[in-house]
Chain A
């Protein structure tokens, strides 16, 4: 009989070997010699942590109770490895490109780096895995107790509580030693993985050995064993298709979702190609593990006394038959199954707990005014992770103590499976459907978890009879029948497992889908969603950091705290070299920040790394939100710029107006100069004649009387001309200034014309034949009659002076048109040449060569007068002679003024 002491010794030696292997593997990997550590074989063997003590011991018990149904536990993972290989490959690719550290990290990363989601997944994982860890502790304790039963009272280890405690502490130490050596949880834990691979080999050999012993040692060969199986109940039991489908689906789901499976399959994966090997090697392993389950169960039921725990047949059969060494080997197999599972599960859970629960809380407390990370984060993270491992183990231990360890192993396993499987909708949806949203994932997960607790945990707890009464299970809460945990919506008669799996997962899927449809993904979610779903389409470029305000020094300090001084230095130097900068910190370019965030997320998780970097960079990943903000800012700038432009246009317009005004002024000034120059000329010319002839008269002796008369006549005329000129100038000045006061009175056009003709012709020596239509002239007018006469006199005088016909004739014609009265003055001369027609009304404009006439102000004065009288004067071209047309408003209109 194997003594318990021997067993303990063997276990200790085995553990020591595991320590040594793990230590050596770590050293080899660190020095770069461990090429074989990264072989696909080690990867495949590490996947065997799927086979826990539950499958090592429990499968036989399962078979003994439910026949071939235990196969479903192996069927699910096999189907996943073979049939969903491409899905796993995508998962691995995503995991590597996003440097995820756990399934919680993956989901958080997918759904916009949501820490709330990560925390929820973490909590669910803890709830789901804690019973599982308790299960492992229980299996080890039970296996001890089997040996203790043979030889009781030797030491304290036969006390289940003590042995479980010792085992829990031991496993915690191992997990802490090898699972938290590196801060970067995304790095490979070669030591742990190698130890697990060794344990996988041990448990396979142990189970095969027991199986071979049973088939060939106890049953007498394959034939006899088959006969024995056929004779037993196991071979004939019907299979329940519902249960088979549900459990197969469940085991397939948790094969991907279980934190420890995710750890070894995704996080610890070195190369995608390893999956190729695992796709056939792992199912093979599972097949070997399940090969002797039925024979052991059948033979155990046959040979062992009734009432023996079928969960421990693997151990009790060899012991019963006195094969101590085989029993010890079997114990080691079970021990390996339990320890490897517990270690990896503790590592995975601790990473999740520290990254998604402890670090966010710690960061929140640390958020001081400086807004940067202070203190040694590296130490904090490691400490958090170690405490989390210890806490996980403690939880498992207390659960084991509280549950009393009485429940069948297999049923606890299925309950845990169903809980973990609630992550599946969010995981698969996130991987293949871009429309999946954070709220959808959160809602589905929450609803699924609640249903799981309600339909599975609650009835499971009922034996403990803590909180709920049996009445609630049988009649529903508050007597509401359709809410019975075992028969939701009145659907009774289903197997409890099928019922729970069906309701929790289908409602989970439905809620996830519907909420995802009705909610709108945030910008970061959309970016990450595209990254995940299209991970094979493009190189990973999740999002850019805007590093413009990031301080390289701050980043360096933070990185040192998380990665350690040497690694951080190496990372920054590499980045600097890539940027072509020597001996300096790299520029915080978006590329570098992205690399840094990836690196940091390997240590503290995506959400935390994002948050920490965000604190330094200024809280700004360039998200669509930011772009929108920038866009709206740009719009404001644009608007401002438009306003400036408008102002500038306004200024330009004002400047143009000023320029025009200035030009006008300059022109006016020039016109004034020209006018003064003209006036000077017009004044000096007659004065010249006057001076010259008066000097001649004065200085020249012997002038004839005729000459004297002539010269004094010239002087007289020129003096008159000067007077006239001054009169005209003053007149014009008054008219132009608008200070003229009109003297309106009623009269007839005829009398005005009579007065004008008689005045113009008086004292004229030049003949002019004036022809009038006196009848037409009988028009009543109201105007300033003197001014109007002045205009007519001017026109008649002009005709008198300038009409170059042999017999000058002036026709004065009056006509009515609409509201106006037209008076045309038409002579029979050659008229005004076309090029001069435009300027005849300008001041000092003269058409004729001779200057004998006035100063050229007459027509300008006429124009001014008529403007004041509300009429106009124009030169009408196209006639033989010169035609001036005076237009006056009709009497009525004029009277109205």
Chain B
């Protein structure tokens, strides 16, 4: 099981929680905490899945998602987007930008794990 997840999130407690959950499920978890060089981080780590916070210092998660989709290397990369702003407008924008899954905080741990598994399974099937 050499599945790799890149978690782009700036809230330390949430990083710790998600890392704990994914690690227990056998994922290798990399983290990145700011938006500015998040796209480079994705390129460097080449993860199987990205968990992306919407509100990041330096750069918005939405812009990072668009960049990823614009790049052919990452255009099909599964991206699970998390947001603490519970607005439907953000969801619409994210879907237009090509998000794979969109979840609102606070989330249930089971939901997150299920989503991660599904996304990776879908990606590997394609």
Contact = CB atoms under 8 A, between A and B. Distances in A.
Q: Do A and B originate from a single complex? A: yes
B96 interface: no
A684 B109 contact: no
Given A685-B11, A685-B84, A696 B21 contact: yes
A688 B109 contact: no
Nearest to A717: B13
A681 B108 contact: no
B16 to A, nearest CB: 7
Interface string B10-29: 11111011101100100000
Given A691-B106, A691-B107, A696 B85 contact: no
Contacts of B21: 692, 696
A185 to B, nearest CB: 97
A688 B34 contact: no
Contacts of B55: 681
Interface size class of B (residues with CB under 8 A): 20 to 34
Interface string B35-54: 00000000000000000000
A688 B11 CA distance: 10
B74 interface: no
Interface string A658-690: 000000000000000000010011101111111
Given A684-B84, A696-B109, A689 B14 contact: yes
A695 B33 CA distance: 24
B10 A684 contact: no
A718 interface: yes
A212 interface: no
A306 interface: no
Contacts of B34: 849
A688 B106 contact: yes
Contacts of B18: 692
Contact of B109 (A692, A714, A718): A692
Contacts of A684: 84-86, 104-106
A852 B20 contact: no
A855 to B, nearest CB: 12
B10 A688 contact: no
Nearest to B33: A849
A693 B107 CA distance: 11
A688 B84 contact: yes
B7 to A, nearest CB: 13
B13 A681 contact: no
A700 B33 contact: no
B122 interface: no
Nearest to A674: B85
B12 A852 contact: yes
A833 to B, nearest CB: 13
A688 B105 contact: yes
Given A684-B106, A700-B24, A849-B34, A689 B17 contact: yes
B13 A689 contact: yes
A688 B107 CA distance: 7
A597 B36 CA distance: 94
B112 to A, nearest CB: 8
A699 interface: yes
A766 interface: no
Contact of B17 (A677, A681, A693, A850): A693
A680 B109 contact: no
Contacts of B14: 685, 688-689, 692
A687 B87 contact: no
A689 B11 contact: yes
B11 A851 contact: yes
Contacts of B24: 700
B85 A681 contact: yes
B11 A680 contact: no
Nearest to B54: A681
B41 to A, nearest CB: 15
Contacts of A695: 108-110
A692 B17 contact: yes
Contact of B20 (A690, A696, A717, A850): A696
Contacts of B57: 849
A870 B27 CA distance: 58
A630 B107 CA distance: 83
Contact of A680 (B10, B12, B16, B85): B85
A674 to B, nearest CB: 10
Contact of B105 (A685, A696, A717, A851): A685
A455 B84 CA distance: 124
Contacts of A686: 13
A699 B57 CA distance: 32
A119 to B, nearest CB: 95
Interface string A698-727: 011000000000000010011000000000
Contact of A677 (B20, B87, B104, B107): B87
A692 B12 CA distance: 13
A852 B57 CA distance: 13
Contact of B106 (A677, A687, A852): A687
Contacts of A689: 11, 13-14, 17
B88 to A, nearest CB: 12
A198 to B, nearest CB: 116
Interface centre among B13, B20, B106, B108 (most CB of A within 10 A): B13
Contacts of A849: 10, 33-34, 57
Interface string B57-88: 10000000000000000000000000011110
Contacts of A691: 106-108
A682 to B, nearest CB: 8
Contacts of B10: 849-851
B86 A680 contact: yes
Interface string A83-110: 0000000000000000000000000000
Contacts of B106: 684, 687-688, 690-692
A693 B87 CA distance: 24
Nearest to A690: B106
A690 B11 CA distance: 12
A548 B24 CA distance: 102
Nearest to B56: A849
Contacts of B11: 685, 688-689, 851
Contact of B13 (A677, A682, A693): A693
Nearest to A692: B17
A718 B24 CA distance: 23
A689 B105 CA distance: 9
Nearest to B53: A685
Contacts of A700: 24
Contacts of B20: 696
Given A714-B16, A849-B10, A699 B109 contact: yes
A853 to B, nearest CB: 12
Interface string A630-643: 00000000000000
Interface string A523-538: 0000000000000000
A852 B85 CA distance: 19
A370 B33 CA distance: 100
A688 B14 CA distance: 7
A677 B87 CA distance: 8
Contacts of B105: 684-685, 687-688
A689 B53 CA distance: 14
A690 B17 CA distance: 10
Contacts of B86: 680, 684
Contacts of A852: 12
A686 B108 CA distance: 14
Give the residue among A689, A692, A693 with the most B Cβ atoms within 10 A: A692
B8 to A, nearest CB: 13
Interface in A616-647: none
Given A681-B55, A850-B10, 4 more contacts: A681-B85, A684-B84, A687-B105, A696-B109
23 contacts: A677-B85, A680-B84, A680-B87, A681-B85, A684-B104, A684-B105, A687-B105, A688-B17, A688-B84, A688-B107, A689-B14, A689-B17, A690-B106, A691-B108, A692-B17, A692-B106, A692-B107, A695-B110, A696-B109, A849-B33, A849-B34, A851-B12, A852-B12
The 5 closest A-B pairs by CB, nearest first: A692-B17, A689-B13, A684-B84, A688-B106, A688-B105
